[in-house]
């Protein structure tokens, strides 16, 4: 399917192919139900002319039986219409939601970090829910009322074409108002959804940082932000309701005016004998019945425009480029040795603001290399380029003499273990978190990884051992325990390259020693890149590289850098007070 269609209608129809039969049956039953809905006003003619005036008992019985049959069949067709439409519609929305989630997961980190998580989540939840509402309800109701309206119009044309011409004079005005309202309602729908996304994002940010909010006693300020977002959403909703209400009222006045004109001219035709009383009653009955479909169309137009605005927002999200994880260059080796080389690498997050400048670096397989420097020097960025979380603007990065762009992205990342500064665990058991992303893995490998990470003893002291639930984001474990689970998670795949991104910076000294022991065990035999804030953790590194303003200014062992002085020695003195 083509997800990049500019039209939201085309975008939605692109997802209907798998459910085309169900949609066809839904539309078929919708036409049948609408057709049956059109018949009752025509019976008015027979009631007046054949029953009340001609006093025909047979026609009275026939009409009574017909009414029961018509509404019985209408109930059956309406049920099947809604059943098939819901089955098809729910399937379409489920597919859209899954595609959207998959797409958003694969967007570049640069794009994700530049967005508010709450706003991204509103596309999956809020926009998809509104889309579900219009696909399963609004759209079919709109179609039903349109068919009913035009069916009734065909009947009044059949009954008396001259009186119908009077109605036609009103229709262009109604059509213009509908077109005008559609544009207004679409714009209002966009505003409503944007403000709703802002509400979601504001609430999520506040609850995600609830400790910060409590610490700084800013509950009132956060409430003010949330209230402001709600008021803006309220104003956007009022604008949409106002347009919808005014339009419905104006159109209804036009239709009632048309009914009065028809009744006046029709009354004269009955008096002159060119129209029977039953035909006039049937004709005016259709006009009166046509008010309800039009009123429903007005209400559904507002919902439909909001839904189409949601479809546009989802379609726009699906147009955002994603990481290319389907490289077919053929480099899918199960094991690499771990040689890394940077050749004239430049990188920037924003144009003309280079974070890395002409980086040239060679790391041998099995070497333990540490990167130090002040905040913003480019340490984490340099490490993030290796698993291709970002792409350099120029230059290239090689692993085992192959450009990393030639690797299949998934295969590349399977060769790299990462222990981040903020260790986030997923909801589930400890075993699930250690073996995250690996299916049907032997418990022995999980135990081995826990042993390397120096957390086996702690896990096996728990009542449920490896089946212990860690809670959302691992809140039931301490910082050091989470960090060691993260180390186990990184080493269980036996990666050739290990990246430790300030893995101990948030821990106290005692816990740091425990985690450092686990890190040392994990680094054995692997190419290891250590991004360090606490310099005591990298004293044993084979090489320490000092970054400043996007490039290396010093390189050597701890002892060499201390002797030579410079930035590294200054950083050590700032942390520990003496040179040792």
Q: Print pLDDT tens along the chain (580 aa).
A: 444 445 767 777 777 777 778 878 888 888 888 888 777 777 777 777 777 777 778 877 887 888 888 888 888 988 888 888 888 877 877 888 888 888 877 777 777 766 666 667 777 777 777 777 777 777 777 777 888 888 888 887 887 777 777 777 766 766 676 666 666 666 776 677 677 777 777 776 676 666 556 655 667 777 787 788 788 878 777 777 777 677 667 766 766 777 777 778 777 877 877 777 877 777 777 777 776 777 677 667 767 777 777 777 787 778 777 766 554 555 665 677 888 889 898 888 877 777 888 888 888 988 888 888 877 778 888 888 888 888 888 888 888 888 888 887 778 888 888 887 777 777 778 888 888 877 778 888 888 888 888 788 888 888 888 888 876 555 567 777 887 888 888 888 888 888 888 766 555 565 666 667 777 777 777 888 888 777 777 878 888 888 888 888 888 888 888 888 888 888 777 776 665 5
State the first-to-last Cα distance of the chain, in angstroms, to the nearest integer.
Answer: 65
Task: Please state, as a whole number, how many other Cβ atoms lie within 10 Å of the Cβ of residue 566.
Answer: 14
Asked if residues 143 and 266 have their Cβ atoms less than 8 Å apart, the reply is no
* CA separation, residue 340 to residues 95, 111, 363, 369, 580 (Å): 41, 27, 5, 11, 31
Domain stops at, among 259, 290, 319: 319
State whether 285 and 421 are in the same domain: no
Contacts of residue 213, Cβ cutoff 8 Å, sequence gap at least 6: 206, 219, 222
336 within a domain of the structure (yes/no): no
Asked if residues 263 and 284 have their Cβ atoms less than 8 Å apart, the reply is yes
Domain stops at, among 319, 338, 373: 319
Please indicate, yes or no, whether the overall pTM of this predicted structure exceeds 0.95.
Answer: no
- Which of 155, 157, 189, 9 shows the shortest CA–CA distance to 92? 9
Phi, psi of 226 (to 5 degrees): -65, -40
Domain stops at, among 266, 293, 319: 319
- For 235-282, give the DSSP string: HHHHHHHHHHHHHHHHHHHHHHHHHHHHHHHHHHHHHHTSS-HHHHHH
Q: How far apart are CA 109 and CA 115, in angstroms?
A: 10
State whether 311 and 433 are in the same domain: no
Asked if residues 560 and 542 have their Cβ atoms less than 8 Å apart, the reply is no
State whether 20 and 136 are in the same domain: yes
State whether 376 and 268 are in the same domain: no
State whether 379 and 262 are in the same domain: no
342 within a domain of the structure (yes/no): no
Residue that has been written with the tokens 């999200």 in this structure: 317
Task: Please state, as a whole number, how many other Cβ atoms lie within 10 Å of the Cβ of residue 432.
Answer: 17
- Which of 209, 192, 206, 196 shows the shortest CA–CA distance to 244? 192
User: Do β-strands 340-350 and 497-501 pair in parallel, antiparallel, or remain unpaired?
Assistant: unpaired
Nearest 5°: the CA angle 454, 492, 336 is 125
State whether 62 and 190 are in the same domain: yes
264 within a domain of the structure (yes/no): yes
Asked if residues 337 and 496 have their Cβ atoms less than 8 Å apart, the reply is yes
348 within a domain of the structure (yes/no): no
State whether 232 and 143 are in the same domain: yes
Contacts of residue 299, Cβ cutoff 8 Å, sequence gap at least 6: 244, 248
The domain that contains 486 carries what CATH number?
A: 3.40.50.300
Q: How far apart are CA 126 and CA 199, in angstroms?
A: 11
State whether 56 and 193 are in the same domain: yes
Number of domains in the chain: 2
State whether 292 and 190 are in the same domain: yes
356 within a domain of the structure (yes/no): no
Domain hosting 449: range is 364-387+413-576
Task: Please state, as a whole number, how many other Cβ atoms lie within 10 Å of the Cβ of residue 241.
Answer: 12
Q: How far apart are CA 281 and CA 262, in angstroms?
A: 11
340 within a domain of the structure (yes/no): no
| Tokens representing residue 299 in the block | 């209400």
State whether 221 and 145 are in the same domain: yes
State whether 263 and 123 are in the same domain: yes
Residue that has been written with the tokens 């039209």 in this structure: 7
Length of the chain: 580
Nearest 5°: the CA angle 479, 485, 491 is 140
Q: How far apart are CA 156 and CA 161, in angstroms?
A: 7
The domain that contains 66 carries what CATH number?
A: 1.20.1560.10
334 within a domain of the structure (yes/no): no
State whether 63 and 123 are in the same domain: yes
8-state DSSP, 415: T
402 within a domain of the structure (yes/no): no
């Amino acid at each position: 399917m083509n997800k990049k269609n500019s039209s939201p209608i085309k975008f939605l129809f692109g997802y209907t192919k798998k459910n085309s039969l169900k949609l066809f049956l839904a539309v078929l039953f919708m036409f049948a139900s609408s057709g049956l809905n059109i018949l009752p006003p025509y019976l008015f003619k027979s009631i007046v002319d054949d029953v009340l005036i001609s006093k025909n008992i047979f026609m009275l019985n026939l009409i009574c039986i017909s009414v029961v049959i018509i509404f019985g069949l209408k109930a059956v067709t309406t049920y099947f219409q809604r059943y098939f439409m819901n089955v098809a519609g729910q399937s379409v929305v489920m597919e859209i939601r899954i595609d959207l989630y998959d797409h958003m997961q694969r967007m570049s980190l640069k794009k994700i970090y530049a967005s508010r998580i709450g706003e991204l989540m509103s596309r999956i939840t809020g926009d998809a829910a509104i889309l579900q509402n219009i696909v399963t309800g609004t759209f079919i109701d709109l179609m039903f009322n349109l068919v009913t309206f035009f069916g009734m119009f065909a009947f009044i044309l059949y009954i008396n074409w001259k009186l119908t011409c009077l109605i036609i004079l009103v229709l262009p005005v109604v059509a213009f108002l509908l077109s005008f309202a559609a544009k207004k309602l679409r714009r209002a729908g966009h505003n409503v959804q944007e403000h709703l996304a802002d509400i979601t994002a504001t609430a999520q940010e506040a609850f995600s940082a609830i400790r910060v909010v409590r610490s700084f006693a800013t509950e009132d300020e956060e409430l003010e932000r949330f209230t402001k977002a709600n008021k803006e959403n309220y104003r956007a909703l009022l604008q949409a309701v106002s347009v919808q209400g005014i339009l419905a009222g104006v159109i209804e006045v036009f239709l009632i005016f048309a009914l009065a004109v028809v009744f006046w001219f029709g009354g004269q035709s009955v008096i002159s004998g060119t129209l029977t009383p039953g035909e006039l009653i049937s004709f005016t009955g259709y006009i009166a019945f046509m008010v309800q479909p039009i009123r429903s169309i007005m209400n559904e137009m507002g919902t439909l425009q909001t839904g189409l605005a949601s479809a546009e927002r989802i379609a726009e999200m699906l147009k955002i480029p994603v990481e290319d994880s389907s490289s077919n260059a053929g480099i899918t080796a199960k094991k690499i040795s771990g040689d890394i080389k940077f050749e004239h690498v430049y990188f920037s997050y924003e144009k003309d603001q280079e974070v890395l400048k002409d980086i040239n670096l060679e790391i041998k397989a099995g070497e333990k290399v540490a990167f130090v420097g002040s905040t913003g020097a480019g340490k984490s960025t340099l490490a993030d380029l290796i698993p291709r979380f970002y792409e350099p603007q120029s230059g290239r990065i090689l692993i085992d003499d192959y450009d990393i762009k030639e690797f299949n992205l998934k295969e590349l990342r399977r060769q790299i273990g990462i222990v981040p500064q903020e260790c986030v665990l997923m909801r589930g058991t400890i075993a699930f978190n250690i073996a995250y992303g690996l299916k049907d893995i032997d418990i022995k490998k999980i135990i081995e990884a826990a042993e390397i990470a120096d957390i086996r003893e702690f896990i096996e002291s728990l009542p449920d051992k490896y089946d212990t639930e860690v809670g959302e984001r691992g809140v039931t474990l301490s910082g050091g325990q989470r960090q060691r689970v993260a180390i186990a998670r990184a080493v269980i795949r036996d990666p050739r390259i290990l990246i430790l991104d300030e893995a101990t910076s948030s821990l106290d000294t005692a816990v740091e020693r425990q985690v450092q022991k686990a890190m040392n065990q994990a680094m054995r035999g692997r190419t290891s890149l250590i991004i360090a804030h606490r310099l005591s953790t990298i004293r044993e590194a084979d090489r320490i590289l000092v970054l400043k303003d996007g490039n290396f200014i010093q390189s050597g062992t701890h002892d060499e850098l201390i002797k030579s002085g410079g930035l590294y020695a200054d950083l050590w003195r700032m942390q520990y007070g003496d040179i040792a």
